[in-house]
Copies of this chain bind each other. A is one copy, B any other.
Amino acid sequence: MRGAYQDLILPDIRQMVHEDDLDGLAAFCGVVHPAMVAEILEELEDTQIWIILNQASEEVRVEIFEYLSLRHQAELVERLETAQLSRLLEWMSADDRVDLLTRLPAIRREESLRLIAQAERNDIRRLLQYDEDSAGAIMTTEYASLPAAITVREALERLRQQAPDSETIYYVYIVGEDRHLDGFISLRELILARTETQLSSIMQRDPIRVRASEPREVAAQTLARYNFIAVPIVDASDRLVGIITHDDVLDVVQEEATEDAYLQSAVAPLEDTYEETPLPVILWKRGIWLLFLSIVALMNANVIDHYRLTTSGSQEIPATAGLASLILLFLPLVMASGGNAGSQSATLFIRMFALQPSDERSVGGPLVDASLIWRELIIGLCLGGTLASLDFLVAWTWFGRSVSEAAAIALTVVTVVTLGTSAGTLLPLTFRRLGMDPAIMSNPLIAAMIDVLGVVLFYEIGLMLLT
């Protein structure tokens, strides 16, 4: 139902922009959920996006904008004048605003901050201070709070006033002098209580809290453990400084799982999604690990060489020479290079599937952009080429192999890495297409298949170049 939505509406929107149908676009922004509008906008050009956003009311515009990916947001505001940018920032919610500001160049950040009201500015600067992975960095300062010495009736009255500026009014924090966190009460409890009851008599004292300086995972786990909608964040003196809400925690959990999956397959964590990350960044984040792992594998070849030379002295084990010795020494390197590059691709694609909006996962639709598959091929060639160059040099100089022997290794490595990358991309993709879990194409399984490929290629290339 939702799957067809985007495909149906996108051509209409494109036409409206083309025909300058501003009323139609305004109606579209007003009626459709901002998250859905944002998803449709992601498919358009930056200029088109601004045409549409400008038709929405200021409030809705900011809402839509906040649903766009951070990378896209940063790109879009490049076109804005400083005054416009400041206005946009002023309307944004505190946590999203800080996320965007950290992505802007320092000069632009300072320029736009100067045009924002002093109170807000202090708020922003405080949030910008927190360590990137701390609870403080993902909290919002827009929470609902009340004093303890008022009645439930008054509390509901005041909440109505706070509602427009609060991320949630379902959880209300009771603060004392100097914003010290004294208690907590949920809107549910307020609704159920008698209107003349004092908050102090029904509030929960000493509520569970997280320090702003603690890692953001601590906040995520606390909220998850107690099934909270939000968790209060306090400073070192136990003063309430913000809240972290359930939706932020979901993002944290997803990001942490992605980071762990990447690291586990030897890909340095990426700032954006894999699709959005530029090619040079990917080459660096994957290549640096592959190079390191190749160096370990070359050290391993050295160990094998040591044993080969030691054992060749004994009568019973004759020396191996030529192709066989080349393969004995460098087959582990070839296998590791292909397997590791393939595992990287598989992990990146499987994680991409896991994070994809559900409607794009429907059978039949395009699972990934064809350009991503081509990009993966280029990545394979570049990574393979780099590793092959290293291997060629080390085999030729350190191991004293002939140029044609070193070339055989290099040629095998570049082929195996490219094929490994392709297999790591296409196998999970095929499984997904068949409606099966792509994660079944595990890294060891892909590595095992590439191992066979590596043996065949190494022998064939060796026979071709060396005989």
Q: Are B227 and A247 in contact (CB under 8 A)?
A: yes
Does A18 lie at the interface of the complex (its beta carbon under 8 Å from any beta carbon of B)? Answer: no
A347–B265 alpha-carbon span in the complex (Å): 10
Interface flags for A239-269 (1: CB within 8 Å of B; 0: not) read: 0000000110111011011011101111000
Q: Are B299 and A221 in contact (CB under 8 A)?
A: no
Q: Are A229 and B229 in contact (CB under 8 A)?
A: yes
**In the assembly, how many copies of this chain are there?**
2
Chain B residues with Cβ below 8 Å from A358 are 214, 217-218, 221-222
Q: Which of the residues B222, B250, B331 comes within 8 Å of A332, measured between beta carbons?
A: B331
Chain B residues with Cβ below 8 Å from A451 are 296-297, 300, 332, 336
Closest-CB distance, A163 to chain B (whole angstroms): 6
Size of the chain A interface, CB-CB below 8 angstroms: 101
Prevailing SS type, chain A contact patch? helix
Q: Are B159 and A455 in contact (CB under 8 A)?
A: no
Q: Are A260 and B350 in contact (CB under 8 A)?
A: yes
**Known interface pairs A250-B250, A324-B308, A451-B336. Does A33 touch B263 (Cβ–Cβ under 8 Å)?**
no
* Interface pick from A79-87, A314-322, A410-418: A314-322
A266–B445 alpha-carbon span in the complex (Å): 8
Does A4 lie at the interface of the complex (its beta carbon under 8 Å from any beta carbon of B)? Answer: no
Q: Are B336 and A444 in contact (CB under 8 A)?
A: yes
Chain B residue nearest to A226 (CB atoms) is B35
Closest-CB distance, A271 to chain B (whole angstroms): 16
Does A442 lie at the interface of the complex (its beta carbon under 8 Å from any beta carbon of B)? Answer: yes
Chain B residues with Cβ below 8 Å from A455 are 300, 303-304, 307, 332
Q: Are A261 and B263 in contact (CB under 8 A)?
A: no
Does A345 lie at the interface of the complex (its beta carbon under 8 Å from any beta carbon of B)? Answer: no
Interface flags for A352-375 (1: CB within 8 Å of B; 0: not) read: 001001100100000000000000
By a beta-carbon cutoff of 8 Å, the part of chain A in contact with chain B is: 1-2, 33, 35, 156, 159-160, 163, 169-170, 187-188, 191-192, 208, 211, 214, 217-218, 221-227, 229, 246-247, 249-251, 253-254, 256-257, 259-261, 263-266, 289, 293, 296-297, 299-300, 303-304, 307-308, 311-312, 314, 316-325, 327-328, 331-332, 335-336, 339-340, 343, 346-347, 350-351, 354, 357-358, 361, 437, 439-440, 442-445, 447-449, 451-452, 455-456, 459, 463, 466-467
